[in-house]
Structures are given as structure tokens and as C-alpha cells.
Amino acid sequence: MTAFPVRRPRRLRRTPALRRLVAEHDLTPRRLVLPVFVKEGIAEAQPIASMPGVSQHPVEDLPGIVDRAAAAGIGGIMLFGVPEHRDANGSAAVDPDGILNRAIAVAATAAAGRLTVQADLCLDEFTDHGHCGVLAGDGSVDNDRTLEVYAQMALAQASAGADILGLSGMMDGQVAAVRAALDAAGRSDVVVLAYAAKYASAFYGPFRDAVESTLQGDRRTYQLDPTNGREGVQEALVDIDEGADIVMVKPAGPYLDVLAEVAAVSTVPVWAYQVSGEYAMIEHAADAGVIDRERAIGESLLGIRRAGAEAILTYWALEVAEWLRDGRPLA
Ligand code: PBG
């Protein structure tokens, strides 16, 4: 007599209704954050060739983007600025009239509390050498002098109306320095999102086109080495200790193990950034006809959720939120 299986996991997969009922994870629009590139001195949106479907925007586009984002119910937008002029110290980053600070002000007014306005707090878009900090005489990135600039940048972004500051520069002590500066200025209300475990990654390639990066060389002296998992957890714990309100792992897809480990130990919310290269891979593969675009997008986001991200920065935030609103399944 044949020994039939007693355990039959397929039973719960038989119909769409059963599968829907037992789904462990899902995504909701409130968990999505849209990164937006705002460029100084342009009159119309300019498509970014390496990121099909993503553009650099004039600041005037922001109210419309914010309205669409609010209607889609997403959690926020993360602003990046592309300035016309760059210098050694990234001075446009601390100037209230600098492109990013102007963009924050316009977005905050348009948002009127309907979603959060977040700003990238890093110098790489503003320095002529393209590094995330200011340089010492020997050409290395000067950690502690950079902290002083980050503190000023934080105050400028807070004054412009940002709800959340995204500290992406990977300088030691950046969370503590920014928190102290905000608190001393009476801005203990402003949220610090620490890009706690940010890896030195090839997957930032298309982003560097998007912000017209001038970087020569790489960021390996400050971003994490892809060989290290435990160090990513340590970075998150250090940032929590320094006062981070939220910690993030970035990129997401290639670092799901780090994300899961951080999610297991964090006492604060854990987010992930699905970066430009992760976006571009799926878009270009879909374009070549080798992958089902929408299912691949859905799967990539569900993987990040399964690993433990409570919110996800993704260039598909608006599109996916609109699918969810229309009741379409993700995968
Ligand atoms: C630094 C920053 C980068 C990204 C977000 N913030 C670039 C870098 O570290 O080189 C990358 C995001 C992406 O690739 O989508 N300002």
C-alpha cells in the first residue's frame, strides 16, 4: 500500500481565496516612500536614461507630485537636490536658498501634513569632488569637520520644514552630532532617520547619473564593505545608541540578511532603501522582454518586507501604491 503524505501544505494553495486568507505578508501604501530628484535651473522634468520612468524635476513640479503621493496614500517623499553650483565644502547644502532647502519648503507647504517630507542629509550632491564629506589636506574625507557641516545642514533642513532627516553620509558620530544640533536649536521634534547600514555598492550607479555625481574613486573608506554582515548590525546599534529614531539598511535586495538581523535586534523602526540599481535591473530586464515587470516589482518588495522592513524607499512607490489602492495583488 502506498504511504500517502499526511502533511499537505498544498491544501492552503488550492484557490486564490485560500491563498489570500493565509498570506503572511503584505504591503500597504503607508509603508512606501518615494525618492524625488529636484534639479536647480531646469524648466521641465528631464528623464534619467539609466532609470526609465524616473526624472529630475524642477521645484515647480513638487506640489503636483505631493498631491499625487498624498492621493495614493504613501508615507512620504524623500527629496534629493541637484544644485547648479558645487564647491569644496558643499555650501549650497546649508544655504536656505539652496535647491534642496527650497524644495523642502515647497514640498512641506504642499504636503500640509498629508504625508511626511524627508530630506537627504549628505554632501555628495553639493561638493565639487563628489564625496559625502569635506576633504582634509591629504584628500581623505575629514570625518569630524564633516559633522560640523552636517549639523548646519540639519538646521537648514529643519527650518525649511522637513519632518525627517535622512542621514546618508556614513560619517562616524553623525547621528549624535545632528541630534545635538537640532536639540540645541529647539528642534527636538525633528526625526532622524539613520542610513545605519549603508554598503559601498555598485547598485548606486544609476543614482549617480540622477544627481550628476562628480565622484572620482569610491566611498569605501566610509560606506560598509559588502563582505560584512555583523558590522551592519553594529552600525545600526551605534546609531540607535546615538539617538536615531529610525534605522535603515541600504541597498535592500542584496542585503536582506543584514535587514533581517537588524530587524531582529532593533528597538526602533527599521526601513530599507530599494536603490536605483535594483530599480534599473528590473526595468531594463522587463524592457528586454525577459521578465514580467509587475510581478518582479511585487516580489522584490515582498522580499524586503519579509526580511523585516517596516517601510521601503522605492522609485516604484507611487505606482505600487496605486496598484494597492485598486486592489491588485502584488505578486
Ligand atoms: C547619498 C546617497 C546615495 C544614495 C542615496 N543617498 C548615493 C551614494 O551613496 O553614492 C543612493 C540611492 C540610490 O542608488 O537609489 N547622498
What's the mean pLDDT in 310-316? 98
What's the mean pLDDT in 26-37? 97
Is 39 annotated as catalytic?
no
Q: Is 120 in the pocket of ligand 1 (CB under 6 A)?
A: yes
Q: Is 276 in the pocket of ligand 1 (CB under 6 A)?
A: yes
Atom number in ligand 1 closest to CA 170: 9
3-class DSSP assignment, residue 248: strand
What's the mean pLDDT in 19-41? 97
pTM: 0.97
CB proximity list for 23: less than 8 A, separation 6 or greater = none
- The residue ranges of every structural domain in the chain are 27-325
Residue in the structure block whose three cell numbers are 564625496: 131
Ligand 1 mean position, distance from CA 54 (Å): 15
Given the residues 57, 131, 198, 219, select the one marked as catalytic. 198
Out of 3.40.30.10, 3.30.360.10, 3.20.20.70, 3.40.50.300, which CATH number does the structure's domain 27-325 have? 3.20.20.70
What's the mean pLDDT in 62-84? 98
Tell me the three cell numbers of residue 71: 492621493
Is 250 annotated as catalytic?
yes
Confidence band of 330 (pLDDT split at 50, 70, 90):
confident
323: nearest Cα among 308, 306, 291, 301: 301
Best substitution site from 124, 127, 150, 274 to test ligand 1's pocket, by max atoms within 8 Å of Cβ?
124
Q: Is 127 in the pocket of ligand 1 (CB under 6 A)?
A: no
The pLDDT tens digits for 133-170 are 999 999 999 999 999 999 999 999 999 999 999 999 99
Q: Is 207 in the pocket of ligand 1 (CB under 6 A)?
A: yes
- Using alpha carbons, list the distances in angstroms from residue 169 to 19, 81, 198, 213, 215: 42, 15, 9, 14, 14
Residue 1 has pLDDT above 80, yes or no: no
Given the residues 250, 282, 305, 320, select the one marked as catalytic. 250
pLDDT of residue 161: 98
Atom 7 in ligand 1: residue holding the nearest Cα: 204
Backbone angles phi, psi at 121, to 5 degrees: -110, 95
CB proximity list for 323: less than 8 A, separation 6 or greater = 294, 330
Q: Is 300 in the pocket of ligand 1 (CB under 6 A)?
A: no
